[in-house]
Each structure stands twice: as C-alpha cells, then as structure tokens.
Structure 1
Amino acid sequence: MHARTLEEIARYLERHPGEHERLRALREQIAHDEGIFSRANMAGHITASVLVFDAGLRHVLLIHHKVYQSWMQPGGHVEPDSASLFASGLREVEEETGLPAADTQPLVDGRVLDIDTHAIAARPAKGEGAHRHHDFLFAVVATRPFAPRPQLEEVDGVEWMPIADFLAIPGQRMRHLVPKLRALLDPAPAVAPRNAPFDPNR
C-alpha cells in the first residue's frame, strides 16, 4: 500500500504540478512514515473518500456527518486489509450509504481526483488528539437506480445534491477541487450505465 500510494502521489503531481507545496506535509510524512495509514497515528494519517455522481452527472451523493455536522462525500479511514485507497473509499461508500461498489463505475480511470490535507479536532471520547487527515478523493458514477440507506452510527442522512449546489459550497478544499470538477464535467464524459439511468425523483 505504501509503495502504491507513493506512485499515486507522483502521478497526481504530474497532472497538477502546482500543488507540490500544498502537499508538502503529506510528502514529508509519507517519505519516512509507513504508519501513515493507521488512524492511531496522531502525526497524521491517510483517508480515502469517493464523490459519487448519478448516471446523468447532475447530482452527487453526500452524507451528513454527525460529528462534523456538515454535508460531505462518503469516506473514512483506511483498513489494514484494503487492497488500495480506491477500494477503501468504495467500502466506506457502501458502509455509509448502502451503495455497493459493484454498482459504480470509476471516473478519471480510477485515478485520484484530489488530495487534501486538513486539520481534525481532538476527540477525547475516542482517545484521539488533534491530528491531520491526508484525504485522497476518487470519483465514480452510480450505474443503477439507488435508494440511499444511511449508516446511522455516524451519518445523519444521505442525499443526492445538485452539482450546482455542491460547487457552491464554501471552504478551502473546494477552492482547488471545483476547477477539477468543472474540467471533469465540461464537457461531461460519456457514461455507459449498466442499467437504466438514476432518476433522483424516484
């Protein structure tokens, strides 16, 4: 996993050479810390998340997180048995929303769409001090009709949000994510659904 993630970062920076400085903390930590995937690592650890689009690329699937009290893409910590960061992110999607990985199709050839390092506040109840998440964001499209089933332990709800509303969400990460999403969606890539397109009004 460590070697594959180093390769993923290298390929990402080839596509986004202007982000070397922004990813300095990640690059410096992963160069000497193979424990960067462990959630017990309070120097910072890697997480994986997935932005799920409907088949028409008009909506994104978001969760409302109980702890952070905000709408965000599904994602979470990397399990030790994960085959890849992408696979880890897809497992979180299924756990938090009920959408199986088999009912998704990768966008951007399964490569990471965005990498972001952000601060996480301490959670004494879970024995966690303040730390950083180095989040690897992937993108997929749902290929079948899907009724979300939220994981109520940490998720208050799951919702299909219109793309325009999602792009308007403020925040530091959105400032560098929005241009990548606009490039992805305009012109929108052709998607060949396995079944009928998702209907958000079902």
Structure 2
Amino acid sequence: MNLKEQLTQYKPYNDREAVDQKEILRYLMTFDNLLTRENEQAHFTASAWVVNKKRTKVLMAYHNIYQSWSWVGGHTDGDTDLLHVAFKETQEETGLTNLTAISKEIYSIEILEVPAHIKKDKPIAKHLHLNLTYLIEADEDELTSIKPDENSGVEWKELDDAVMACSEAEMKVIYQKLNQKLKRYAKK
C-alpha cells in the first residue's frame, strides 16, 4: 500500500488529526518531493512511540536542538517505507536493536512546525514536518546508547513522566494523545 493509500485509510483519533490528515493529503497532491529535505517548506518524517512490553513506559531521548525530552524519529530521506524509517531512527538514536512493530499501521499523524535553527553549523529555515508516528515495542532491559550529534540522554520513563519531562508545550499535547491511544493496546 502506498503512502497516499495509508493516509487515506487512516482513521483520525481526534479533530486535530482529521485536519492534519486532510492537509497532509493536500501536500501530497501538490508536491512531488515531500520525501526529501529538498522541499524546504514541508517534508515527511517518521517518529516512533517506543513502549516497553508492559506498555507502562516510553523510551525518550534528550534532544540537543530542542533541549527537551522527546520521542525518536527523523527525516525519510527518500525512503517510501515510513515504518522502516521509524525503526532505523529508533536504532540510530537509542542503540536498541530488538524492536517490534505493535502494528504496521500508522499510529498517529501530526503536522509539526519546526522553528529556524542551526544543525551541523548550517542554518535551517522554518518548515513543517508531515509526521507519521508508529507504535513500537522494545525490551527495557536492553542496553541503550546516545547519538551524540542528536541527543545527550536516552531513558525509559513512566508514561505520565514522559509528558512532564518534555519542555515543549505543543509536544506535551501530542505525547498525551499518544499515551491515551496506548490504552487500546494495553496488556491484560
């Protein structure tokens, strides 16, 4: 199933996701270079909400640019399989290798405003991330590692603590939504 089909079939969780879904589909109909950073206005990213087997904790990384605890993920860089991107980014940013997709379906969608910043001594203009999030399970006993050019900490946090540890107001709202949606996948 291609990206447009996946997005079209996705059932929005709330009104915000419904608006974002419509807008992302509009971008797909308008631009042909959304899978690379070539499009400096908006491009696709994939994130992972990495939970432990009991689904009581989430793995967070301390993001160097935003100076905040956050999920893991990154740019697609031309890859059309965004679940693959979420796995790759999780491995790169946390060192974890024993990962399982709880579902291969999109877990959440967001349009994220990225402020202008400097990355690797290069100025990056303000732009949008058309983000797809995937729900991934990992073993919390597996050894983690940081990716020094992106993060300076990787920690398992209780679900509510993960939201509280984030210093970005708009991301807290997203993380709360991800935790609420997780109830659908609760272990019994």
- Tell me the TM-score normalised to structure 2 length: 0.85
C-alpha distance in structure 2 between counterparts of 1:67 and 1:183, whole Å: 27
Runs of 4+ with deviation above 6 angstroms: none
Deviation per residue, 1:133-191 (Å, 9 max, x gap): 1111111111473111111111111011111212455733543553453243366146x
Among 143, 151, 157, the alignment partner of 2:153 is: 157
Residue 7 of structure 2 aligns to a residue whose secondary structure is helix
Gapped regions of structure 2 (runs ≥ 5):
none
Q: Which amino acid aligns with 1:117?
A: I
Superposition map of 1:119-158 within 5 A: 119-123=113-117, 125-143=121-139, 145-158=141-154
Q: Judging changes above 3 Å, is the alpha-carbon distance between structure 1 residues 87 and 97 closer, same or farther for their aligned structure 2 residues? A: same
Q: CA RMSD in A?
A: 2.3
- Tell me the TM-score normalised to structure 1 length: 0.79
C-alpha distance in structure 2 between counterparts of 1:183 and 1:68, whole Å: 25
Among 100, 107, 112, the alignment partner of 1:113 is: 107
Residue 91 of structure 1 aligns to a residue whose secondary structure is helix
Q: Which amino acid aligns with 2:127?
A: H
Deviation per residue, 1:62-92 (Å, 9 max, x gap): 1111111111111001132x35100001100
Aligned to 1:44: 42
- Aligned-pair identity in percent equals 22
Aligned to 1:195: none
Q: Judging changes above 3 Å, is the alpha-carbon distance between structure 1 residues 67 and 141 closer, same or farther for their aligned structure 2 residues? A: same
Q: Judging changes above 3 Å, is the alpha-carbon distance between structure 1 residues 79 and 61 closer, same or farther for their aligned structure 2 residues? A: same
C-alpha distance in structure 1 between counterparts of 2:80 and 2:146, whole Å: 24
Aligned to 2:94: 97
- Specify the structure having the higher radius of gyration (Cα): 1
C-alpha distance in structure 2 between counterparts of 1:180 and 1:48, whole Å: 14
Deviation per residue, 1:3-22 (Å, 9 max, x gap): 7111121121x354743324
Aligned to 2:81: 84
Q: Judging changes above 3 Å, is the alpha-carbon distance between structure 1 residues 164 and 127 closer, same or farther for their aligned structure 2 residues? A: closer
Q: Judging changes above 3 Å, is the alpha-carbon distance between structure 1 residues 177 and 111 closer, same or farther for their aligned structure 2 residues? A: farther
CA contact (8 A) 2:114 2:128 kept: yes
